[in-house]
Amino acid sequence: MLNMSVYIALVAFAIAMIGIVYRAIKGPSTADRVVALDSLGISLIAVTALFSILLRSSVFLEVILLLGILAFIGTVAFSKYIEKGAIVDRDRHK
């Protein structure tokens, strides 16, 4: 029964990820694309967790943590780029 629930959730996430990729490509603004990429990262984390449940393995937990950190850093970098136009500030005022 658990396996069937995991399979249904995997199909639901696959359908959702198709919509997210469409929004990332066709998004009317850069902010919409950033939100779509963040949602794609979260969905990838969820799919990895579902595979971990399906395989009854805890090996993927480190992968989930790494994906979460990378998704967070990417979202912060894109947000800073949208706000200031640069990710790294080159102006050094002393």
What the block records as the tokens of 93 is 């005022």
Per-residue pLDDT tens digits for 38-79:
999 999 999 999 999 999 999 999 999 999 999 999 888 888
Per-residue pLDDT at 49: 95
Cβ(75)–Cβ(27) under 8 Å? no
Per-residue pLDDT at 82: 82
In whole angstroms, give the CA distance from residue 32 to residue 37.
9
Per-residue pLDDT at 20: 95
Taking the model in full, what pTM does it have?
0.81
Per-residue pLDDT tens digits for 17-35:
999 999 999 989 888 998 9
In whole angstroms, give the CA distance from residue 65 to residue 49.
10
